[in-house]
Structure 1
Amino acid sequence: MTDERDTVVTALARSLERSHRRLGELETLVRQLAADVTSLSRSRPAPGDALTGAGDDGREPAGGGWLLAEDREAALTGMADLVEWVEAVYLRYPDAELPSCWLWHPAVVEELWWLRGAHAAAYEDSAGSWQRIGDWHDRFRPGVVKRLRAAVGGCELVLHAPGGEQAGAPSLAPLADAAANVADAWTTRRLLPEPSDPQLAAAEQHDRAQHRKANR
């Protein structure tokens, strides 16, 4: 009888030990999750933050990027920081190229703007990780290099002068005057309006211009 009681007590002791161990693991997990939530809440930019204004923890929020920049002072500061980063990091890689007119291409500035932000986030002390650093090296940077080479690899500043291929007003969204009708038809009937004859003519003119541009 004593041996049976000892066996039961031993089993209960082991069960209690396992419960204590699991409780300790659970407490550790909860603390880790709490730390992760705190880190995410601190790193998330608050609505209305400036284009490149740093938050309370010194990190820069994504803001609206370069294409939506409106704050002049923030844009000046951000551009100066971007130029410094391009020279210190981006152009250090042998496959990185920038035409002389890169600042005259808003899309190029935007690409480099977010690439710089991704670089800062990957190497940031509290939120960065080796995986994010690897993503930046393996995917983000090579992707930007490839897109910039395809988009502006043969461009130069003289083409932006009056009479050059890059001179003139920025491109407009084709058939923008149809946006209201499309939005109304889609939200009320989940159908798209039939294109009118003037819209078809405008679309044909636009498509021909795009084709000529692509085959230059």
Structure 2
Amino acid sequence: MLSVARALDRTGKRVGNLEESVRRLATDVSRLAGVVAGRPAATSSSDARPDGPPRASWLLAAGTDSELLPAALDDLIAWLDLVYLRFPDALLTACWLWHPSVIEELWWLRGAHADAYDPDTGSWLRVGDWHDRQRPGVARRVRDVLTKCDLSLHTGDRADRGPAAEPAPAPLAVHAATVAVEWGRSGTRPVPTTEQLDEARTSSAAQVRGRR
């Protein structure tokens, strides 16, 4: 009888422990359900992201009169102050907003940072890649552009030359169709015509003048 009583006592303790485990599990499930219910609904678009800028090119968005651009820049600037400018090699001069290529570089870096630290899809490997490769590369390219420029260079005639100048269109673009046909016909490198050589010299001279 004593052994039976001890067995019953052990069984009672196990049942009590099991009930406590079930209560804790129910609490955890309830908490998890609340978290899931509070999250934004998933969309079918791969560009929908809980954090960071939309996955789009600033260079393509500029000039579209998009109402999203001011908010996007506000988000970028907040991130620059919070993250990017805390690194000692980060440099932004007063004219950075006048350089679309600089905004593009910082724009994608901000998106990559959000991806790397995403609570669901991020990883330490992505974080390491952001710190070791992506951020230093952007910082170097941005610094190379901005250290050669000044906001005063974006005014008047000075805006048409030097680092503030708009990029020239692709040289000899009018001959693209002809060259493409030659490539497709023979598979060998097309031979430039006299006209194309003359245009190339004119284009090169204009590029040199634009850098001065």
TM-score, length basis structure 2: 0.68
> d(CA) in 2 for partners of 1:59 and 1:93?
21
Q: Which of 167, 172, 177 lines up with 2:169 in the alignment?
A: 172
Q: 1:112 aligns with which of 106, 115, 125?
A: 106
Q: Which secondary structure state, in structure 1, belongs to the residue aligned with residue 58 of structure 2?
A: coil
Cα root mean square deviation, aligned? 2.6
Q: Which amino acid aligns with 1:194?
A: V
Q: Which residue of 2 aligns with 1:125?
A: 119
TM-superposition CA deviations, 1:63-96 (whole Å, max 9, x none): 3311111460232322221111112111111211
Rg larger for: 2
Distance 2:54 2:78 in 1: 18
**Identity percentage over the alignment?**
48
1:120-139 alpha-carbon deviations (Å, 9 max, x no partner): 00000111111111111111
Q: In structure 2, what is the equivalent of residue 139 of structure 1? A: 133
How many residue pairs get matched? 166
Which range is displaced more, 80-89 or 59-68?
A: 59-68
**Counterpart position of 1:198:** 195
- Native 8 Å contact 1:181 1:193 kept in 2: no
CA deviation string 1:33-87 (max 9, x = no partner): xxxxxxxxx79954xx5xxxxx2x6356753311111460232322221111112
Once the two structures are TM-superposed, the CA of residue 152 in structure 1 deviates from its matched residue by 2.4
Once the two structures are overlaid, the 10-residue window that deviates more, 123-132 or 67-76, is 67-76
Mapped to 2, the partners of 1:159 and 1:134 lie a distance apart of 37
Is 1:77 equivalent to 2:74 in the alignment? no
Counterparts of 2:127 and 2:116, CA distance in 1: 5
What is the rounded CA distance, in whole Å, between the counterparts of 1:171 and 1:124 in structure 2?
A: 39
**1:18-167 mapped onto 2 (5 Å cutoff):** 45-46=45-46, 55=48, 58=50, 63-69=55-61, 70=64, 72-164=66-158, 165-166=161-162
Within 1, Cα distance between the matches of 2:180 and 2:171?
15
Return 5+ residue gaps in structure 1 as ranges: 1-41, 50-54
